[in-house]
Amino acid sequence: MGKLIVVSNRVGPLKDTGKAGGLAVALVDVLRERGGVWFGWSGQVSEEGTFGEMKRQKSRNVELATVDMNKADYEEFYAGYANRTLWPILHYRLDLAEFDRPYEQGYRRVNERFATRLKPLIEPGDVVWVHDYHFFTLAGQLRAMGVECRIGFFLHIPFPSPDIITALPRHTALVRSMLAYDVIGFQSNRDRNHFIEYLIQEAGGERVGEDRVRAFGREVVVKAFPIGIDAEGFSQFPKSPEGRRQSQRIKAILGDRAQIVGVDRVDYSKGIPHRFRAFERLLEDYPENRGRVSLLQVAPPSRSELDAYVDIQRELEHLAGQINGRFADVDWTPIRFIMRGFPRKALAGLYRSSRIALVTPLRDGMNLVAKEYVAAQDPEDPGVLVLSRFAGAAEELNESVIVNPYDTEEVAGSLQMALQMPLDERKSRYEAMFNKIVTNDAKRWAESFLSYLSG
Ligand code: ADQ
């Protein structure tokens, strides 16, 4: 068996810093087990070094190999086509998508540069596993350079219905280049089905078996591989000193009052304004919660160089101020809005001390916060997950309270129901979900994908 080469836009860290997301942890585990290389962008923008010298850093059997980008690459490929064109379209936000030819050209150029630097690392028998929307065209470019090994692709974000994706200029070229992969993985059956529908409707493709399609003269595996977390590991975090300290801090201010928690990067796909409005509606429609229930929203800003992200952040500050102004009392603040990240163990403490997690994305590939919240609960007195039907996680976690985030009244009613849910029901929902996330954890996700990729 050859080595595994993982490709993602951001690389590492290899050590568990306590800050890495579930993805990094899962990938490090499989890389450690098989040995291999993790290749991608260094995170540095530099004029001289652009795709010049590769930085290589080895720790036992795993090597990190990274390259810098120059400013034009960063702006056209990363901030441009990836985050101004593809991210909004794949999250159904045609209104926010910018179609700019230089972005598209930058995307192809940077994918080609990555391919050029990656090719010498590949030896016969190796398998290459590419991640996410930054690299739709990477395999096509590797194939054009004569690379014949197995190459797989996993999309972490949604793949929308053909009606949406066909609004992307030159969408056929993009999807055709995806068919250069051997295995194409999605978070949910919904996304997988959209992709197959696209191939059938737009490319004369056909299904040739449960997980195989033929299109553009290629036959490939197309399958849902729902991503997991290290649920066993995460379930221990609330008991760590840092986890306990957070829970105690919160209990000290809450007393016998209840807390609803939201945790997200600030992003328009996460439905945070909808969440604030639903919480406001809870206070309006069920006034007994005034002074009794608060919302803690933890949301570090992300991609602040993009206008759409600055706008959403302003909107959230404004909304929180408005709702607090309307309902706050001297000893109670309805919404506590914290604009920074927390270390993972502290986060687990926040989850455990919250009666409800309110996860309301308008679209989300999976949403790991939903899984982390379940993992962090006290099995004897678990909280309730209120989850958007538009998160990939809703396909698996159907024992959560599923809501339509656009329906403010329904979300408020579900919050009220969750606040009053008897212990027996909370426990049975929690147990069913916990068993699923422990079984379908991050390790199993990676192994399952790689078993298909190894052919
Ligand atoms: P994201 O859009 O980043 O991921 P999500 O799946 O929720 O969304 O993962 C976020 C991660 O960052 C979680 O592990 C969470 O704990 C952490 N995080 C978020 N806010 C934080 C905060 N304030 N402090 C500390 N940590 C915080 C993309 C896709 C998702 C998909 C994942 C993985 O958009 O749909 O689930 O990739 O495939």
382 prior amide bond cis, ω within 30: no
Residues 326 and 413 reside in one and the same domain: yes
Q: Is 302 exposed, middle or buried (0-12, 13-18, 19+ CB in 10 A)?
A: middle
Q: For ligand 1, atom 1, which residue shows the shortest CA distance?
A: 367
Residues 314 and 391 in one domain: yes
List, by residue number, the catalytic residues: 156, 364
Yes or no: say if 261 and 373 are a contact pair by the CB < 8 Å rule. yes
Angle formed by the axes of helices 368-375 and 22-34, nearest 10°: 80
Residue 272 and residue 415 in one domain: yes
For residue 382, what are the domain limits? 233-439
* Distance of CA 315 from the midpoint of ligand 1 (Å): 21
Q: Identify whether residues 189 and 276 lie together within a single domain.
A: no
Q: Are residues 104 and 245 in the same domain?
A: no
How far apart CA 62 and CA 33 sit, in angstroms, is 9
Predicted-complex ipTM score: 0.98
Q: What is the pLDDT of residues 316-333, one digit of tens each?
A: 999 999 999 999 999 999
- Residues 16 and 118 reside in one and the same domain: yes
Supply the residue whose CA is at minimum distance from atom 3 of ligand 1: 265
Nearest to 359 by CA among 333, 393, 334: 393
**Best residue among 154, 367, 371, 445 to mutate for probing ligand 1, ranked by most atoms within 8 Å of CB:** 367
Pocket of ligand 1 (CB under 6 A): 21-23, 156-157, 227, 263-265, 298-300, 341-342, 347, 364-369, 372
Comparing C-alpha atoms, which of 132, 92, 38 is closest to residue 406? 92
Same-domain check for residues 266 and 344: yes
CATH number at residue 71: 3.40.50.2000
Whether residue 260 has pLDDT greater than 60: yes
DSSP-derived secondary structure for 227-273:
----HHHHHHGGGSHHHHHHHHHHHHHHTT-EEEEEE--B-GGG-HH
**CA terminus-to-terminus distance, the chain:** 12
Pick the residue whose CA is nearest to atom 37 on ligand 1.
156
- pLDDT of the residue at 113: 94
The reply to whether 123 and 263 lie within a common domain is no
User: Tens digits of per-residue pLDDT, 40-78?
Assistant: 999 999 876 556 688 999 989 999 999 999 999 999 999
Can you give the pLDDT at residue 21? Answer: 61
What is the model's pLDDT at position 327?
Answer: 98
- Spatial CA neighbour of 434 closest among 239, 234, 296: 234
User: Do 242 and 219 lie in a common domain?
Assistant: no
Residues facing residue 332 across a β-bridge: 329
**Percentage of residues in the chain having pLDDT higher than 90:** 89
The answer on 33 and 11 residing in a single domain is: yes
Contact partners, residue 137, CB within 8 Å, separation at least 6: 107, 108, 111, 174, 177, 178
In the chain, how many domains are there?
A: 2
35 compared with 174, residue with greater pLDDT: 174
**Res 245 pLDDT > 90:** yes
Domain co-membership, 154 together with 195:
yes
Instruction: Give the pLDDT of residue 243.
Output: 98
Residues 123 and 25 in one domain: yes
CA 203 to ligand 1 centroid distance, Å: 33
